[in-house]
Structure formats: structure tokens, C-alpha cells
Structure 1
Amino acid sequence: MFQAMPYDGTRSERFASVLSQLEALIKDEPNSIANLANASALLKFSMADTNWAGFYLFDGTELVLGPFQGLPACIRIPLGRGVCGTAAQERRTLVVDDVHAFPGHIACDAASNSEIVVPLIKEGRLIGVMDIDSPLKHRFDDEERRFLERFASIVVDVL
């Protein structure tokens, strides 16, 4: 079922394939942790040039590390701090081409140079964020942002 990179076909076809795989992985599983674990693995292994992919969950006060793929990460992130905390507070996707130029960036992995963070919102309530890091600057474009926002919306449906 899992289609790791590379994928023969257009980029749009690859994104559609990953979304189909995500839906198949989580459609009948009621456990949120299992679904987030599989979603982070699917992200990490279907997106080239990434070094971290995972989730931070909002506990009512701050973001707390959830399932992920990559090196050990920061455990708690206050709202408004770093890319994750800012995306959560503003409830909007942030694409950061150079994390070292982002005010208040939290450097969990010194190899990360760009990042995209998509807030997880359900019925107007902040659930957490989906975070993907890359060692390349300018790694994430607008087409990938739309794909990742769709990915996040599928994940939110089962949380």
C-alpha cells in the first residue's frame, strides 16, 4: 500500500496517491496516536529532502510533542513561540524559507533550514500542528502547502 519516494508520475499524481494512502491507513482506526504515528511516517517517507515530520498537540496551554519521524525534538512549545507556536497562535499555515531568519525560531535540529507548519483545527478548536522540516532552504512551495493542508484536514477528521 505504501508508495515511498520516488514516484513515477506527476507531482499532482504523487500527492493524490499519498492522500489516498493516508485515508486507507486511518479510515478504520479509532486511536488518535496510532493515526498520527502512521501519518507522520507516511509524510516523512513520501517527501524528499525532509529531516523531520510530525505533530505537536495542544494541551490547552501549549503545544506538546506528539508522534513524529526524525531526530528527538523539543517537547513543549508555548503558543506564539517559534514557527510551530506562531502557526498555532495565528491559526494559519506558515511556510518559512529560512528558519534562521524567523524571529524566535526554536532550533531543535541544527540541520533544519526550512519549515512548514499547518495548524490542526477542528470545529473552531485548536488541536495542534503538523510540522515538517527540511535541511534545504526554500524547500516548500505553494503546491506543497495546498497538499499538506489537505493532508492535515484528513488527519483532523479522525482526531
Structure 2
Amino acid sequence: MELAQWQHRFERWLDENHFTDDTAHDIAHFRRVWMTAQGIMADEDSDPLVVLTACYFHDIVSLPKNHPERSHSSRLAARKTREILSRDFPDFPPDRYAAVEHAIEAHSFSAGIAPQSLEAKIVQDADRLEALGAIGLARVFAVSGALGAALFDADAPFA
């Protein structure tokens, strides 16, 4: 199956099944991470299906930044992604499950998991680059607002 067909199927599944108020980790975020990943992997010998899948499902579980289990989000997302792939995408190649799971687990800064594969490094870099620039700044404000965090603390102006 062509990569574009997988992307279309993943987007359709997310539209029908992934409902979130978290605008920092929605389908638009997944698309931007994938767009960035494509640029990174253009000159690399990586598995594009693994990268695409990890980009679209890396934050399928995303616990709030102030959640005590936040550092486990990427592991939970990896586990849920395998369940989704095996249940809802039975034609997805099972020999790629482990690579997708690792790329998802390692993308997260808070998980502290070092990426061991080229695909995991690409997804991690793409996700981190997505946190920069105007969109990244907008995501910071969205997350801060959702957490009820103050915009500025006079007692800790550089915090």
C-alpha cells in the first residue's frame, strides 16, 4: 500500500476516533510533525511507514503536563498504538510494530528514553522542532491556559 493511502486511513481513523480538547496534541499537530519528519528523512535511509505511523499516533495518549504519570505518556501511547494497529488496521505489517512502538516511546522528552533507531530519532526531532516557532509558542499558551497557569509570576519572573 502506498504511504499516502496509509496517511489517509490514519487521518480518517483519527477523525472518527480521537476526540480531544488538547489543541496542542490534536490531528493538526500530528500533521505538522509528519510534515517536518518528511523533510528530515528526505536524505535518510529510513522506513517511511514507521515514521508516518509514529508521527500520527505518538500523542494518542497525552497526559497533562501537571499529571503525576506524565512521564509514562509515550509508553501508554505506544501500547495503545499497537492495539489500534492490530485491531483497526489488520493489514498493517506486524513486523513493524516494535519499530513504531520504540519511535513513539522515545519521542517524549519527559520519558527520558534515548532513541535507538533512525526512525525514532526522526520522530523525536520532528516533534521537538514542532515545539519551536510561532506554532510552538501558541501551543505553550494553549497548554498553560488548559492548566490554569498564570502567564507571569512576579515572584519568579524567569521561571
Q: Report the TM-score when normalising by structure 1.
A: 0.31
Structure showing the higher strand proportion among its residues:
1
Structure number with higher helix proportion = 2
- Structure with max Cα Rg: 2
What TM-score, normalized by structure 2, do the two folds share? 0.31
Which has the higher relative contact order, 1 or 2, with Cα contacts under 8 A spaced 6 or more apart? 2
